[in-house]
Structures are given as structure tokens and as C-alpha cells.
């Protein structure tokens, strides 16, 4: 532990459950750009662990034991990612101020007062010898908030422009927006499914974890009637922000039930091509984002995109075609599309050290602002 060190490590494993991303970040609050990305490192999540995580998104037998065991396995993976980035940059544990680790969300029900992230912060602190800041959602939810999204405060510190309205779009398993306006408080909310349904459908039909470069979706045709049905039959899309969601709602079961209902309502359709459904799911992701921007951020002048979806040319092309302002990858600003979230959690660990209130009513709908995180000392 080195409380004087400006170096923090952020670790993120998102709802896509494909890997663990680590970011080494140097923070100087007095700089115009307070956080500088030094290095990144990634580890794949083993398939057996990924399947165990996905199974825990729904109730099942002996799930308390399984959740505990998966948390420990994730903790070891987080520790490995930390050790890798230390070795790759010739650093020691004492060179790092703290780790910011979000954990793996398996249940997100803020309306019921909880959000569950599988994590083992005490184990990570033990294995790495570095203080761990985790549990970033609970305090905000206790104050009546969504506990999400967590990173608009980081975006505010890094990207807010005094003359230009910007939006930052994360397309991970779920897509979410941070809205940065020169004259208004920074806000944020979830738009709907990002890659989650795309990955499910691709794995079911092709046995692949994801549709690389959107090639399979591009080979299909959008079913406009199905797109309208998916949008109009789901009441979540009509909720006003701030709002958040996850696998509790947008999962494989949701999609299968929607498809079954749609094809019962359209009996003349005897069959469908898997690629057409994939193309329609891409359109659903894009439509939920565009609708959110036009309804809640009509004066946006620039959209900065990151997360796995930013690597999908089909999604980026459709976003650019629907908007009359620049749609840019976060790479344009020197932050890799896969590094943004892990970098944000390094910054959130720093903000916790400073006792900065990074969750606010405009971002999460809470009754008051609060400091996000809890500490597990090394």
C-alpha cells in the first residue's frame, strides 16, 4: 500500500463475460485531463467459469455455494490480471495506491434495493498486497438510486467540454449513455441491450462467443415488423431515466419468448433465417440508443463510443447513418474501446480515496449524492 502513489489499477469484467480487462492509470487531479492511461492487460474468462457466471444469473440449486465459489475464482483471476500488469510494467505492489474492482454483476434489482456483484475483494487484497476498493453500487442504492451507471462522473472529469454537448456511449452487454452538457448537470442511464442478445443468438446458432465484426448480422436482413414488436412489447423502453437494466431482463429467455409470441402473431411466416434475427437484434441495439439520444439528448454535438460494440462496424455504421453529428470511437481520444471501463474504475478508486461523491441524483436518481465504494485493506 502506498497512499502517496498516483498509480491506480482498475479491473473490469462486464456483462458480456468474455474477459477481464485491467488498466494502469496515473492520476493527477490538477491536470486538465486528470487520468492518464499508462498500460492495459487482459485475460480471457475460462469457458467453464463463464458458464457458471451465466447460470448464476437465474435461480438454481445450491446457488449460494456456487456464487461463493465463482466469486473466489473471479478473485483469483482479478489477482492474476493485477500481477500481469505489474510484471509487464516492472512495478511492485507498493507502487500502486489501490485497485478498483467492479466485480461481475449477476442480479441487478435496484427497485428491490439490491445489486449483486460476484467478487472476492478480501482475497484479491491478500493475493496482491494492494488495497481494494469495490462494492460501488450499494451506497447509492441505499439512497434510493439505481446504483448505475457508475462512470458518468469519470466521463465528466475527462471529457466535459465547456462549449460542446457530448454523449459517451458504452456498448457492452447493456448499452448506456453519459450525457455531458456545458450548462447542465452530467447525467446517465441505460438504453437497453447492447451485445448481450447478439452474443446469445450467435452462440446458439454458430457456437461462437460473438459475431466478429458483425459479419453474420450483415449477411441477414432486418425484419422491421419484428423490430417494432421487440421495441413496442417491452415496457422497460418507455421508462424515463434515470434507469438501468441487465441480464435480469434482457436475456436468452426474454428473446426466445418474444420470438415465440411474434411468430404466433404472424402465422404466415413459416420459418426465419438466424442471420435475419441477428440483423434485427443489431437494429434493436441501435434503435434503443438512437431513441434515447433523440428523446433525452437532442442537442448532442458529438457521440464517443466505447465497449465491445464499438468494434462492430455494422453498429457504428448504423449509428453514424442515423445521427447528424460525429460518431467517434474512444480511440480518437487515446483511450482504447476496451480500456475505458477498467480505466474508469481506477479513477473511481481514486475518487473513493478522496471521498468524492461520484453518484448523484442526476446520474442515478438517488435522493442525494454519495461516495461509491468500500475498502478492503491489504
Asked whether the beta carbons of 349 and 99 are under 8 A apart, the reply is yes
What H or E segment, with its residue span, contains residue 84? Answer: helix 63-88
Residues making up the binding site for ATP: 14-21
Report the alpha-carbon distance of residue 81 to residue 377 in Å, rounded.
19
Three cell numbers, residue 198: 447478439
Three cell numbers, residue 343: 480505466
Residue position matching grid coordinates 461509491:
372
3-state helix, strand, coil in the chain (%, to 5): 45, 20, 35
- Phi first, then psi, for residue 35 (nearest 5°) are -120, 130
- SS3 sequence of 204-245: HHHCCCCCHHHHHHHCCCCCHHHHHHHHHCCHHHHCCCCCCC
Report the alpha-carbon distance of residue 239 to residue 243 in Å, rounded.
7
Q: Any idea what the Cα angle at residue 348 is, between residues 41 and 33, rounded to 5°?
A: 80
Residues making up the binding site: 14-21
What H or E segment, with its residue span, contains residue 287? Answer: helix 274-296
Amino acid at each position: 500500500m502506498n497512499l502517496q502513489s498516483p498509480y491506480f489499477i482498475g479491473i473490469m469484467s462486464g456483462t458480456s463475460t468474455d474477459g477481464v480487462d485491467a488498466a494502469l492509470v496515473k492520476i493527477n487531479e490538477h491536470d486538465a485531463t486528470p487520468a492518464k492511461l499508462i498500460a492495459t492487460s487482459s485475460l480471457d474468462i475460462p469457458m467453464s467459469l463463464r458458464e457458471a457466471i451465466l447460470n448464476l444469473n437465474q435461480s438454481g440449486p445450491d446457488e449460494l455455494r456456487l456464487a461463493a465459489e465463482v466469486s473466489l475464482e473471479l478473485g483469483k483471476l482479478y489477482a492474476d490480471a493485477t500481477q500481469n500488469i505489474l510484471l509487464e510494467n516492472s512495478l511492485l505492489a507498493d507502487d500502486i495506491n489501490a485497485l478498483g474492482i467492479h466485480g461481475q454483476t449477476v442480479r441487478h434489482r435496484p427497485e428491490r434495493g439490491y445489486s449483486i456483484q460476484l467478487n472476492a475483494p478480501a482475497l484479491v487484497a491478500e493475493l496482491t498486497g494492494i488495497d481494494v476498493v469495490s462494492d460501488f453500487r450499494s451506497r447509492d442504492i441505499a439512497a434510493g438510486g439505481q446504483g448505475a451507471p457508475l462512470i458518468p462522473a469519470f466521463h465528466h472529469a475527462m471529457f466535459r467540454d465547456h462549449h460542446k454537448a457530448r454523449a459517451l456511449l458504452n456498448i457492452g452487454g447493456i448499452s448506456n449513455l453519459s450525457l455531458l452538457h456545458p450548462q447542465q448537470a452530467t447525467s446517465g442511464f441505460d438504453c437497453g441491450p447492447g451485445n448481450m442478445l447478439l452474443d446469445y443468438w450467435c452462440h446458439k446458432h454458430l457456437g461462437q462467443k460473438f459475431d466478429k465484426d458483425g459479419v453474420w448480422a450483415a449477411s441477414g436482413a432486418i425484419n422491421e415488423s419484428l423490430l417494432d414488436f421487440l421495441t413496442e412489447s417491452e415496457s422497460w423502453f418507455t421508462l424515463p431515466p434515470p434507469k438501468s437494466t441487465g441480464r435480469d431482463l434482457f436475456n436468452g429467455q426474454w428473446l426466445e419468448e418474444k420470438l415465440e409470441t411474434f411468430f404466433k402473431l404472424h402465422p404466415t411466416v413459416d420459418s426465419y433465417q438466424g442471420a435475419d434475427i441477428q440483423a434485427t437484434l443489431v437494429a434493436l441495439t441501435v434503435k434503443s440508443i438512437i431513441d434515447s439520444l433523440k428523446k433525452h439528448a437532442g442537442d448532442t454535438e458529438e457521440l464517443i463510443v466505447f465497449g465491445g460494440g464499438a468494434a462492430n462496424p455494422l453498429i457504428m455504421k448504423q449509428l453514424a447513418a442515423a445521427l447528424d453529428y460525429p460518431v467517434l470511437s474512444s480511440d480518437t481520444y487515446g483511450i482504447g474501446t476496451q480500456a475505458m471501463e477498467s480505466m474508469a474504475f481506477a479513477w473511481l478508486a481514486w475518487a473513493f480515496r478522496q471521498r468524492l461523491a461520484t453518484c448523484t441524483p442526476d446520474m442515478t436518481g438517488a435522493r442525494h449524492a454519495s461516495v461509491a465504494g468500500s475498502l478492503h485493506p491489504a
